[in-house]
């Protein structure tokens, strides 16, 4: 997907004023013995850096650092338009992916959270037209698929660029009971994404970014129970080439393999007293995140789907000290998953809290509140997820 105009993305954050150096620091600089000839020699070394190393090196920088480096020169600023640079980014695993979030009251302006720095960034421009009322319905590989509520058109956006592509009209009618899934795969020419659109009556259609068109596949097989009653509060998760949707009646999961075109349905009873369930994934494992409520007590739990028994097994839960804050409160939860890291937005009348959960280390971390520029209150995260990737 072609990138937007270079320089259209800038991060809004408080400016840091330079502080005066202490006498010890000034004397340390004098004693270092650095002369103008040393600086000239270093400049000469960097000047002779091979051209083919620029993009691989810059692609390995932290995301926030890279956007600051875009101000160095026009060439670095235009890297987001480069297909080769996108390929280098796709080859570098992101240890600390970012979250792209949409707040409840500001659907057209997203906020991005960097878990490694515990910092929020607010783009001062958006690729989404201001007149649209859009909702994020799927995300994968750094791309987010939006649905325009009024026109029912679909858009694919890379919020880091930002770039925007309106998808052509499709045969399946997009509505409130339509599920959307998205998967991204890498090939020698870059990232390729496919979008699956499924109606409640079993009709489905697939968009391919290579052909730039929809292909109509008809209806689901007869062994899938219709009408399709899905949990639209949980985004579809993508593992390899397979998309997984949470099914409500009967309870379980419906999957579609993009490579083979095979639909499967798994009937899996949900844990008792579970509300706000959401699917997540980590290293090919399917996880379930939700609130367990009994009487006045509430706790956030994590379950993993067992491959042999196809049952949910609890693997972790939020510390009891944190769960005490939920006692007697009607808590609503929104869960965003991002490559082994979860962000939970927990809200009640008396509370508005954000936390992250590292699936591998089982670590719970409180997230600073997200306040939009010129806003007065912390926002409730509604939807979205993002990881930097080539597009």
Sign, Cα dihedral of 216, 221, 227, 228: negative
Backbone phi, then psi, for 378, in 5-degree steps? -70, 140
pLDDT, position 3: 36
CA neighbor of 81 nearest in space, from 5, 164, 192: 5
pLDDT at position 135: 78
Distances (CA, A) of 212 to 13, 136, 170, 192, 222: 37, 20, 12, 11, 30
CB 289 within 8 A of CB 342: yes
Distance from first CA to last CA of the chain, Å, rounded?
6
- For 127, other C-beta atoms within 10 Å of its C-beta total 22
Mean pLDDT by 10 residues, the chain (391 residues): 39 44 51 52 70 80 72 75 72 69 60 82 65 80 82 82 82 80 74 89 92 91 89 86 92 94 94 90 90 87 94 94 86 80 84 87 88 57 46 31
Q: What is the pLDDT of residue 375?
A: 56
Distances in Å between the Cα of 84 and the Cα atoms of 59, 78, 104, 116 are 10, 12, 36, 26
Q: Could you tell me which of 289, 207, 204 has the C-alpha nearest to residue 255?
A: 204
Q: Report pLDDT for 389.
A: 35
Q: d(Cα 179, Cα 177) in Å, to the nearest integer?
A: 7
Overall pTM > 0.85: no
């Amino acid at each position: 997907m072609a990138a937007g105009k270079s320089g259209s993305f800038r991060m809004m954050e408080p400016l840091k004023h330079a502080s005066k150096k202490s006498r010890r620091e000034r004397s340390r600089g004098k004693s270092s013995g650095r002369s103008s000839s040393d600086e000239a020699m270093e400049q000469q070394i960097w000047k002779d850096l091979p051209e083919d190393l620029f993009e691989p090196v810059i692609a390995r920088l932290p995301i926030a650092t890279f956007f600051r480096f875009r101000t160095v020169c026009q060439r670095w600023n235009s890297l987001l338009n480069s297909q080769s640079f996108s390929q280098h980014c796709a080859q570098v695993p992101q240890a600390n992916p970012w979250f792209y979030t949409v707040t409840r009251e500001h659907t057209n302006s997203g906020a991005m959270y960097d878990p490694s720095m515990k910092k929020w960034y607010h783009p001062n421009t958006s690729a989404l037209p201001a007149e649209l009322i859009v909702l994020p319905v799927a995300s994968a590989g750094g791309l987010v698929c939006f649905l325009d509520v009024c026109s029912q058109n679909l858009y694919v956006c890379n919020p880091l660029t930002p770039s925007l592509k309106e998808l052509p009209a499709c045969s399946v009618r997009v509505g409130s009971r339509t599920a959307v899934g998205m998967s991204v795969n890498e090939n020698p020419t870059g990232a390729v994404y496919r979008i699956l659109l499924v109606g409640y009556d079993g009709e489905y259609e697939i968009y391919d970014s290579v052909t730039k068109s929809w292909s109509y596949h008809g209806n689901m097989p007869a062994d899938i129970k219709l009408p399709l009653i899905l949990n639209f509060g949980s985004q579809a998760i993508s593992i390899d080439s397979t998309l997984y949707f949470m099914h409500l009646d009967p309870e379980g999961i419906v999957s579609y393999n993009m490579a083979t075109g095979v639909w499967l349905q798994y009937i899996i009873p949900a844990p008792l007293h579970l509300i706000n369930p959401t699917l997540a994934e980590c290293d090919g494992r399917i996880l379930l995140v939700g609130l367990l409520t009994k009487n006045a007590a509430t706790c956030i739990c994590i379950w993993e789907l067992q491959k042999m028994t196809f049952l949910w097994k609890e693997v972790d839960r939020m510390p009891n000290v944190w769960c005490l804050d939920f006692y007697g409160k009607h808590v609503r939860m929104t869960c965003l998953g991002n490559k082994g890291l979860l962000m939970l937005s927990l809200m009640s009348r008396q509370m508005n809290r954000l936390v992250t959960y590292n699936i591998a280390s089982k670590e719970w971390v409180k997230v600073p509140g997200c306040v939009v520029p010129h806003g007065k209150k912390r926002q409730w995260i509604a939807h979205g997820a993002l990881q930097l990737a080539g597009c």
